[in-house]
């Protein structure tokens, strides 16, 4: 397990070219997340079509892990219902070893397999201090949806 | 090159080959410091200032000997001006709450520099809110130095205290405190210096510094955590009320009132860090055996080498002074296209320990237009090989992120 596992090409790509960056004109939900220890900041704005996310925008600054994680997350949640998003967040947290248990029926060897590109972030698990970087966008999303 | 490599054997934590470049956050502890604390705890420890028995007398003598040693180390002529605290932060809060609440009122101004660590800023924000005084700031110049012209123009009869760092923990800048103190005193203002980065790295004489309060920590100068110092000029301490009440700090107590013990004990409520005082004493002995001038020289040489070599690393920008004039052994850097946390993680893989983030100086980071920097800071046990490792780690980061 080395740096190549942490800094996979897909992560660097999302860091350099973040998707869905900026702000929505009329967001229906939004939240700001800050990691006070390292100063990473993120703003997430969401619009819905019925129960499903129609648009999402992310703005912020921080390290490659926090920014790429948020970027990949925006791609993953588009078109998904709140229920589906909650499941996705659950899987992400499990991949980061933040939540215990296999009630989601995930492959213990590859808990991120259902997450697509996001699985690339599983290398972060080996760097405990960086897990909070990877989680910042996801926690902020949950706050936006709960608000 | 000043060769201090003979010291490395005194720092067993470095045996595994770590390139420890985070002494600005906290320094490592040499064996003589650890042994002094161990020996004291095994043979002479008891609470101080209250027992009539031999152990307490011995313990009290060791604690007060540490006070005299600190006084001697910083050129304080009166050992009563040395107050033991938990660290720089508590020292600065003692000034803010003990002196500030007593001496500030609406219409008064507190002047702080933009490069203050949160420890010399947030307490002043709190005290400004409580007293109605306003908090004003002195900016830095483009090359990361304190803007003395603005400082001079902002001084006035309403300025009651100037809060300034002795050496910036982010930029390494060493402001001209003697000059600042002279200017401030002309307007009748007090001067408080956050000397957490200064005292460990250079010979400090509080009277030459000219300030009214000087704060520093043991753990950044090879001593243990949990103890720091507030030096205050006697007339400034006489204007200061105790910030904490409790045992040891009183002269008499009735159910409704109390009178204070003499200075310095009125500022040392509760059982003080006794074993830590012995450790600090040993740390000062250790530093003096090397020589503070030699330590400063050594840090300067390493910093000059680092600055010279970092310029060649693709994408690296130095935050702060890029020449050696009035700066110490702290080098903050950013790499274009690579966040400081990523730099720190990649450097850690190469066994290079640096600090990444805002370094508890968020207003300064905003003023620099960066959100985080990676910071290397040097001390007695560092050598050129640590800079080699730093530079090679940074190049590796550049490769991973495709920085050209």
Following CA atoms B196, B200, B205, B210 in sequence, which dihedral angle do they give, to the nearest 10 degrees?
-20
A54 sits in which H/E element? strand A52-61
**Mean pLDDT within B126-133:** 98
In total, the C-beta contacts within 8 angstroms joining chain A to chain B are: 49
Confidence at residue A104, expressed as pLDDT on a 0 to 100 scale: 54
Identify the CA nearest to B282 among candidates B230, B210, B223: B223
- The pLDDT-based confidence of A23 (bands split at 50, 70, 90) is very high
Query: Cβ of A63 and B358 within 8 Å?
Result: no
Greatest alpha-carbon pair distance for chain B in Å reads 72
Q: Helix B292-310 vs helix B274-290: angle between axes, to the nearest 10 degrees? A: 80
* pLDDT number for residue B355: 96
pLDDT value of position A103? 53
The per-residue b/e assignment along B215-236, b for 16 or more CB within 10 angstroms, e otherwise, is bbbbbbbbbbbbbbbbbbbeeb
CA separation for the pair A93, A138 (Å, rounded): 9
Q: Which helix (H) or strand (E) holds A47?
A: strand A40-49
CATH code for the domain defined by A3-146: 3.90.1010.10
Binning pLDDT at 50, 70 and 90, where does residue B140 land? very high
Q: pLDDT averaged over chain B?
A: 96
- What pLDDT is attached to residue A113? 59
Distance CA A98, CA A90 (A): 9
Closest residue in B to A1 (Cα) is B349
Q: Is A65 on the interface with B (CB under 8 A)?
A: yes
Q: Rounded to whole angstroms, how far apart are CA atoms B231 and B209?
A: 12
Determine contact: B339 vs chain A, CB below 8 A: yes
Under 8 Å between Cβ of B73 and B218: no
* pLDDT of B247 strictly over 80: yes
Encoding tokens for residue B289?
């055996």
CA distances from B54 to B45, B47, B59, B67, B176 (A): 10, 11, 9, 20, 47
Q: Report percent pLDDT > 90 for chain B.
A: 96
Cβ proximity of B173 and B323 under 8 Å: no
pLDDT surpassing 70 at residue B138: yes
Among A56, A67, A1, CA closest to A29: A56
Q: What are phi and psi of A38, to 5 degrees?
A: -115, -10
A139 to chain B, closest Cα gap in Å: 20
Q: Which stretch of DSSP H or E encloses residue A145?
A: helix A128-146
Of B158, B181, B163, the C-alpha closest to B105 is B158
Measured between beta carbons, which residues in chain A are less than 8 angstroms from residue B358?
Answer: 38-39
Task: Choose between B107 and A104: higher pLDDT.
Answer: B107
* B33: its two tokens: 């410091």
Residue A116 is predicted with a pLDDT of 77
Domain residue ranges of chain B, discontinuous segments joined by +: 33-288, 291-400
The pLDDT tens digits for A120-139 are 898 898 898 899 999 999 99
Identify whether the C-beta of residue A27 lies closer than 8 Å to the C-beta of residue A46.
yes
Among B340, B295, B214, B276, residue whose Cα is nearest residue B33 = B276
- pLDDT value for B371: 87
Tell me which chain B residues have a C-beta less than 8 angstroms from the C-beta of A6.
345
CA distance B357 to chain A (A): 5
pLDDT at B349: 94
Is the CB of residue B352 less than 8 Å away from at least one CB of chain A? no
Chain A residues lying within 8 Å of B340, measured CB to CB: 63
Q: What 3-state DSSP class applies to B299? A: helix
- Which residue, among B331, B346, B350, B355, has the nearest Cα to B388 in the 3D structure? B350
Weakest mean pLDDT among A91-105, B36-50, B140-154, B156-170: A91-105
Q: Tell me the per-residue pLDDT of A57-106, one tens digit each, with 9 for 90 and over.
A: 999 999 999 999 999 999 999 999 999 999 999 889 888 877 765 555 55
pLDDT-based confidence at residue B312 (cuts at 50, 70, 90): very high
Q: From the CA of B39, how many Å to the nearest CA of chain A? A: 36
Are B374 and B340 in contact by the 8 Å Cβ rule? The answer is yes
Which residues of B are marked as active site? Answer: 360
Q: How far apart are CA B321 and CA B311, in angstroms?
A: 13
Distances, alpha carbon B211 to alpha carbons B100, B166, B282, B374, in Å = 16, 10, 26, 31
A2 at interface of B, judged by CB pairs closer than 8 A: yes
Q: Write the pLDDT tens digit of every residue in B381-398.
A: 999 999 999 999 999 999
User: What confidence tens digit (pLDDT) does each residue in B272-307 have?
Assistant: 999 999 999 999 999 999 999 999 999 999 999 999
Exposed/middle/buried for residue B316 (C-beta within 10 Å: 0-12, 13-18, 19+): buried
pLDDT digits (tens, 9 = 90+) for B32-85: 999 999 999 999 999 998 888 999 999 999 999 999 999 999 999 999 999 999
Q: What is the pLDDT of residue A146?
A: 87
B205 touches chain A (CB under 8 A): no
Out of B339, B349, B356, whose CB is closest to A3?
A: B349
Window 84-123 of A: residues touching B by CB (8 A cutoff) are: none
Q: A38, B372: Cβ pair inside 8 Å?
A: yes
Residue B87, sorted as left (phi over 0), alpha (psi -120 to 50) or beta, turns out to be: left
pLDDT of amino acid A111: 57
* Percentage above 70 pLDDT, chain A: 89
Cross-chain residue pair B402–A127, CB shorter than 8 Å: no
Confidence of residue A107 (pLDDT cuts 50, 70, 90): low
Test B372 with A12 for CB contact under 8 angstroms: no
Count CB-CB contacts under 10 A for residue B47: 16
Answer whether B371 sits within 8 Å of A61, measured CB to CB.
yes
Contact B340 A63 (CB under 8 A): yes
User: Does residue B59 contact residue B43 with C-beta atoms inside 8 Å?
Assistant: no
CATH architecture, domain B33-288: 3-Layer(aba) Sandwich (3.40)
Buried b (16+ CB within 10 A) or exposed e, B34-44: eebbeebeeeb
Confidence (pLDDT) at B264:
97
Q: Do B401 and A64 touch (CB under 8 A)?
A: yes
Pairing of strands B228-232, B373-377: unpaired
Q: Do A39 and B342 touch (CB under 8 A)?
A: no
Assess whether pLDDT exceeds 60 at residue B353. yes
CB atoms within 10 A of CB B213: 29
pLDDT of residue B244: 94
Peptide bond into A9 cis (omega under 30): no
| β-sheet with B228-232: strand ranges across | B82-85, B228-232, B213-217, B190-194, B159-165, B109-113, B134-138
B345, B365, B371 member nearest A127 (Cβ)? B345
How high is the pLDDT of residue B147?
A: 98
Q: In B, which residues are within 8 Å of A16 by CB distance?
A: 337
Separation of alpha carbons B112 and B85, rounded Å? 22
Query: Looking at this predicted complex, what is its ipTM?
Result: 0.87
Distance CA A99, CA A112 (A): 13
Task: Establish if B284 touches chain A: CB-CB under 8 angstroms.
Answer: no
| pTM score, whole prediction | 0.94
For residue A99, what pLDDT is reported? 72
Structure tokens at B229: 């110092």
**Shortest Cα distance from B302 to chain A (angstroms)?**
27
At B389 the pLDDT is 98
Residues whose CB is less than 8 angstroms from the CB of residue B42 and which lie 6 or more positions away in sequence, other chains included: none
Query: Could you state, in order of their start, the residue ranges of all structural domains in chain A?
Result: 3-146
Instruction: Find the helix or strand (DSSP H, E) in which A93 lies.
Output: helix A82-95
Report whether CATH 3.90.1150.10 matches the domain B291-400. Answer: yes
Q: Tell which residue, B134, B175, B135, B26, has the closest CA to residue B88.
A: B26
Taking residues A43-47, what's their average pLDDT? 97
Average of per-residue pLDDT values in chain A:
88
């Amino acid at each position: 397990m080395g740096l190549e596992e942490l800094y996979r090409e897909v992560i660097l790509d999302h860091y350099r070219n973040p998707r869905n960056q900026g702000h929505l004109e009329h967001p229906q939900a939004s939240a700001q997340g800050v990691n006070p220890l390292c100063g990473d900041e993120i703003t997430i704005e969401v619009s819905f079509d019925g129960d499903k996310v129609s648009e999402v925008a992310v703005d912020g600054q921080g390290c490659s892990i926090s920014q790429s994680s948020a970027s990949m997350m925006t791609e993953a949640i588009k078109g998904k219902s709140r229920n589906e998003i909650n499941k996705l967040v659950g899987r992400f947290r499990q991949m980061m070893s933040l939540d215990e248990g296999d009630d989601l029926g995930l492959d213990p060897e590859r808990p991120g397999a259902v997450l697509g590109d996001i699985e690339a972030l599983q290398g972060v698990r080996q760097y405990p201090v960086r897990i909070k970087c990877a989680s910042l966008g996801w926690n902020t999303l949950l706050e936006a949806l709960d608000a | 090159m000043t060769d201090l490599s003979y010291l490395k054997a005194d720092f067993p934590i470095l045996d595994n080959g770590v390139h420890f470049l985070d002494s600005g956050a906290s320094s490592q502890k040499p064996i003589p410091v650890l042994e002094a604390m161990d020996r004291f705890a095994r043979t002479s420890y008891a609470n101080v200032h209250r027992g009539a028995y031999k152990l307490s007398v011995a313990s009290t003598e060791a604690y007060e000997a540490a006070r005299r040693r600190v006084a001697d180390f910083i050129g304080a002529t009166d050992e009563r001006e040395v107050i033991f605290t938990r660290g720089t932060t508590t020292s600065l809060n003692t000034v803010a709450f003990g002196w500030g609440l007593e001496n500030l009122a609406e219409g008064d101004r507190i002047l702080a520099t933009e490069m203050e660590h949160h420890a010399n800023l947030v307490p002043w924000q709190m005290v400004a809110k409580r007293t109605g005084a306003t908090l004003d700031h002195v900016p830095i110049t483009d090359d990361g130095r304190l803007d003395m012209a603005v400082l001079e123009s902002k001084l006035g009869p309403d300025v009651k205290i100037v809060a300034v760092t002795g050496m910036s923990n982010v930029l390494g800048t060493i402001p001209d405190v003697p000059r600042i103190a002279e200017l401030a005193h002309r307007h009748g203002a007090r001067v408080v210096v956050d000397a957490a980065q200064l005292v460990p790295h250079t010979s400090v004489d509080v009277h030459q510094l000219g300030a009214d309060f000087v704060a520093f920590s043991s753990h950044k100068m090879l001593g243990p955590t949990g103890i720091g110092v507030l030096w205050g000029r006697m007339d400034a301490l006489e204007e200061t009320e105790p910030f904490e009440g409790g045992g040891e700090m009183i002269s008499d107590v009735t159910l409704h009132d109390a009178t204070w013990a003499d200075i310095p004990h009125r500022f040392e409520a509760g059982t003080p860090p006794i074993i830590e005082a012995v450790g600090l004493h040993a740390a000062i002995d250790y530093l003096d055996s090397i020589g503070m001038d030699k330590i400063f020289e050594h840090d300067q040489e390493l910093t000059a080498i680092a600055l010279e070599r970092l310029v060649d690393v693709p994408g690296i920008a130095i935050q702060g002074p890029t020449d050696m004039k009035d700066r110490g052994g702290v080098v903050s850097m950013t790499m274009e296209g690579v966040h400081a946390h990523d730099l720190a993680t990649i450097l850690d893989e190469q066994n290079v320990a640096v600090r990444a983030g805002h370094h508890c100086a968020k207003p300064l980071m905003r003023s620099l237009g960066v959100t985080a920097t990676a910071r290397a800071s040097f001390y007695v046990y560092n050598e050129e090989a640590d800079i080699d490792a730093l530079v090679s780690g940074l190049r590796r980061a550049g490769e991973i992120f495709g920085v050209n």
